[in-house]
């Protein structure tokens, strides 16, 4: 009889639900972060060392995570937003100021990252975890060495074989860098000039794209693409025909930071966790897992030989000087949205 089957399935579901209720009595650390962004072995090591259970939940964008927390969602002990979002959360008193006495490993964090780039230079409310940047990959087999500049997108010979990111801050930012401005400028004249620049570039592009460029550069359909370092270096590892460059005019960088929300229930464990991932040995493991860069120079001695000079994992200090983090511009964000619309509409 069908009905008995349905009832028995239901009973199993109910039993499973009951079992869920009575978990282990070990302390639990609830982490809220991006997917595939920490080595699972490290999490197990931490669980053993502190006799606790780590529960990792994930979000897909800073904005949705913020919306959820702002509406009252809680229960998380450590969160990993991007720098600009960490600043907003701190300004709104959603996260704690950090007690450095509980974080001895902060001494390993790169001074040049903090001085040249960070928004929270004293690590008052956040601890940097992983840095990525935007660079340009190109097909070396077909193009040979190319000039280390954003100017490549003005090359009409490559018409229809190049892509820029479909991301208003990154793409307008590239034009601003090319004209020697900051990618966070709110000056109308600079923005107007940047708009004209992107429109000029657009004529040579196949399209603005955030996803397909990885496949396109690998298959040879595209010859030059702007992309995120974490993605591009994975493609580069697989495809020897490709090379990359970080334009001399400037590049955009982004960093994800550990923060502790004011609603955290298990703050001691949260501090222990942040301290744990800042240990150079653990940072090295994490970098090899994610292909991103921890701002912890000491970690270099613990990574395997072939990765010691990996450009995704160890960012040269001069890139910090050329780099810039995307900031939240508050009401001025509207200016960027307006010129982005105009760029999209232009023929």
Q: Which residues bind other proteins (CB under 8 A)?
A: 2-3, 6, 9-10, 12-14, 16-17, 20, 28, 30, 32, 34-37, 40, 55-60, 64, 67-68, 71-76, 214-219, 230, 234-235, 238-239, 290
Q: What is the CA radius of gyration of the chain?
A: 23
State how beta strands 162-164 and 224-228 pair. parallel
**What is the Cα 247 distance to its own chain's centre?**
19
Inter-residue contact 233 to 291 (CB < 8 Å): yes
Nearer to other proteins, 131 or 343 (CB): 131
Inter-residue contact 136 to 235 (CB < 8 Å): no
Name the minimum Å distance from CB 198 to other proteins: 25
Nearer to other proteins, 3 or 334 (CB): 3
Distance CA 14, CA 21 (A): 11
Picking from 233, 211, 230, the residue whose alpha carbon sits closest to that of residue 222 is 211
Name the minimum Å distance from CB 275 to other proteins: 21
Name the minimum Å distance from CB 59 to other proteins: 6
Inter-residue contact 125 to 98 (CB < 8 Å): yes
Nearer to other proteins, 152 or 235 (CB): 235
**How does DSSP classify residue 98?**
P
Nearer to other proteins, 3 or 189 (CB): 3
State how beta strands 251-258 and 224-228 pair. unpaired
Name the minimum Å distance from CB 1 to other proteins: 9
Nearer to other proteins, 55 or 114 (CB): 55
Please name every residue paired with 227 in a beta bridge, in sequence order, or none if there are none.
135
Please name every residue paired with 254 in a beta bridge, in sequence order, or none if there are none.
132
Name the minimum Å distance from CB 216 to other proteins: 7
Nearer to other proteins, 290 or 293 (CB): 290
Phi-psi region of 342 (alpha: psi -120 to 50; beta: other; left: phi over 0): alpha
Nearer to other proteins, 32 or 150 (CB): 32
Name the minimum Å distance from CB 299 to other proteins: 19
Q: Please give the sequence-ordered ranges of beta strands (E in DSSP) within 204-313, or none if there are none.
A: 205-208, 224-228, 242-245, 251-258
The tokens describing 262, both together, are 């004011």
Distance CA 341, CA 216 (A): 25
Picking from 195, 220, 189, 203, the residue whose alpha carbon sits closest to that of residue 153 is 203
Name the minimum Å distance from CB 141 to other proteins: 14
Structure-derived torsion over alpha carbons of residues 161, 167, 173, 176, reported in degrees to the nearest 10: 60
Name the minimum Å distance from CB 50 to other proteins: 17
Q: Which residue has the tokens 């903090």?
A: 114
Name the minimum Å distance from CB 209 to other proteins: 13
Nearer to other proteins, 78 or 176 (CB): 78
Nearer to other proteins, 79 or 123 (CB): 79
């Amino acid at each position: 009889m069908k009905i008995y089957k349905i009832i028995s399935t239901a009973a199993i579901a109910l039993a499973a639900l009951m079992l869920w209720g009575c978990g282990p009595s070990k302390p639990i650390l609830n982490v809220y972060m991006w997917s595939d962004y920490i080595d699972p072995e490290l999490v197990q090591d931490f669980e053993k060392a502190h006799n606790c259970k780590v529960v990792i939940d994930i979000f897909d964008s800073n904005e949705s995570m913020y919306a959820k927390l702002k509406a009252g969602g809680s229960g998380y002990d450590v969160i990993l937003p991007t720098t600009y979002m960490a600043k907003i959360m701190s300004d709104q008193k959603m996260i704690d100021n950090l007690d450095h006495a509980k974080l001895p490993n902060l001494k390993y964090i790169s001074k040049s990252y903090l001085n040249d780039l960070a928004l929270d230079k004293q690590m008052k409310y956040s601890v940097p975890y992983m840095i990525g940047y935007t660079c340009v990959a190109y097909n070396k087999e077909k193009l040979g060495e190319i000039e280390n500049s954003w100017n490549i997108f003005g090359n009409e010979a490559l018409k229809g074989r190049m892509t820029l990111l479909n991301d208003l801050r990154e793409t307008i930012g590239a034009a601003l860098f090319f004209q020697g401005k900051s990618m966070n400028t709110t000056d109308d004249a600079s923005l107007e000039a940047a708009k004209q620049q992107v429109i000029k570039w657009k004529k040579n592009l196949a399209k603005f794209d955030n996803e397909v460029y990885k496949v396109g550069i690998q298959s040879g359909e595209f010859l030059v693409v702007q992309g995120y370092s974490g993605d591009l270096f994975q493609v580069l590892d697989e495809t020897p025909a490709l090379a990359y460059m970080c334009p001399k005019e400037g590049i955009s960088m982004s960093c994800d930071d550990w923060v502790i929300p004011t609603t955290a229930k298990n703050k001691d464990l949260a501090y222990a966790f942040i301290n744990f991932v800042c240990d150079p040995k653990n940072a090295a493991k994490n970098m090899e897992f994610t292909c991103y860069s921890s701002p912890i120079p000491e970690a270099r001695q613990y990574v395997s030989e072939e990765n010691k000079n990996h450009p995704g994992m160890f960012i040269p200090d001069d890139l910090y000087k050329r780099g810039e983090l995307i900031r939240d511009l508050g009401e001025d964000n509207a200016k960027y949205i307006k010129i982005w619309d105009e760029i999209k509409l232009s023929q």
